[in-house]
Amino acid sequence: MGIEKEIQVPTLVEDFAGALKLYDDGTIIRTEDNLIVNVPPSLQNQDVKSRDVVINKELGIWVRFFLPPRKPTSSKLSLALFFHGGGICFLSPSFLASHSFCQKWASTLGVMIVSVNYRLAPENRLPAAYEDSMAVLQWLFSTSDPWLNDYCDLRNVFLIGESSGGNIIHHLLMRAHACDFFGNIRGAILIQPFFGGKDRTHSENVCPRDVLVNVEACDTFWRFALSFEAHGNRDHPFSNPVMYFPLELSSVIGFPPMLVILGGKDCLRDRGAEYYEAIKVCGKCKNIDFMVFEMEEHGFHLAFNETDLDMQVSNNGRLMREAALFVSSNSL
């Protein structure tokens, strides 16, 4: 009789809500399609038209354009490069809430929005998302895309990032500061930016466990996103850049104007406030401000119904008004 081989069953290493599982043999299983609704672009929309453009098919880098209605005599539009959230592990520009966000903001702010699809962890750990975002930024200033040529003034480029997208903005600015086009970046809006750290903050300690984005979820995202060599160290420069200030900023001449948006009930509130204070103190950004929406949890800016989008009664509406003022105040 032959010797029977013992079957090795992979061991589950990480699991986020059953939607993303990582096993010790490297196997990754995603089932988030059951939880996430995606929508296609549309050129038929009477308000904001959208279309997708592939930048790097091999890496899966693509963008979704959102073009607001324009009058025939109007001048060219400012452009906002948008980076979605999802803990660097989930979502894309086609995610319903992200798509709706970009539609509403393009219309309200009167700008063209270009939403970035970057590679996700754990299949592609950081700095993949930073590299992809930099590739898109460079593409903007080198492509001959007709919508950019016909409708956009690339002297007025803004960066908008929510959650992990806010984290991406910081690292994108660090990579782009020496580029010729850096002066065309007129401002950055970081909405509830996703930063971390080994030592717990007050907002992390008091965060309820029954909210979607809680401390445990954030820790899991960082273990997925950081390299194996980092061993989930939340004090890594990718997750906790403030820990490396001011040395990390020594080569940076200056940042464009910045607006940091925080939620009072968000477990990431103190991380965002710490980032704001550190940037302000280092003197690299002469125009930085922040707003706190005291009663809001993480992700309040993503509207899921018409009440959320009501400009007069919702904090989402207040946020859009402040963002519109920020863009108009910093445009040429």
Does the annotation mark 75 as catalytic?
no
Tokens at 328, concatenated: 């108009």
| Given the residues 78, 163, 203, 239, the one annotated as active site | 163
Spatial contact of 305 and 278, defined as CB atoms under 8 Å apart = no
- For residue 324, give every residue at least 6 positions away whose Cβ sits within 8 Å of its Cβ, in sequence order, or none: 108, 109, 110
Whole-angstrom distance, CA of residue 144 vs CA of residue 150: 10
Whole-angstrom distance, CA of residue 266 vs CA of residue 207: 7
Q: Which amino acid is at 326?
A: F
Whole-angstrom distance, CA of residue 167 vs CA of residue 89: 13
Does the annotation mark 331 as catalytic?
no
Whole-angstrom distance, CA of residue 65 vs CA of residue 176: 22
DSSP codes joined into one string, 209-270: TTSSS-HHHHHHHHHHHS-GGGTT-TTSTTT-GGGGTTGGGTT---PPPEEEEEETT-TTHH
Angle at CA of residue 222, ends 255 and 238, nearest 5°? 25
| Given the residues 266, 270, 298, 308, the one annotated as active site | 266
Tokens at 182, concatenated: 């850096």
| Given the residues 84, 99, 171, 301, the one annotated as active site | 301
Whole-angstrom distance, CA of residue 174 vs CA of residue 32: 32
Collapsing DSSP to helix, strand or coil, 78 comes out as strand
Angle at CA of residue 214, ends 272 and 219, nearest 5°? 80
- For residue 55, give every residue at least 6 positions away whose Cβ sits within 8 Å of its Cβ, in sequence order, or none: 61, 62, 63, 135, 136, 139
Dihedral (Cα; 129, 222, 85, 148), 10-degree rounding: -10
Whole-angstrom distance, CA of residue 111 vs CA of residue 113: 6
Does the annotation mark 99 as catalytic?
no
User: Would you name the residues annotated as active-site residues?
Assistant: 163, 266, 301
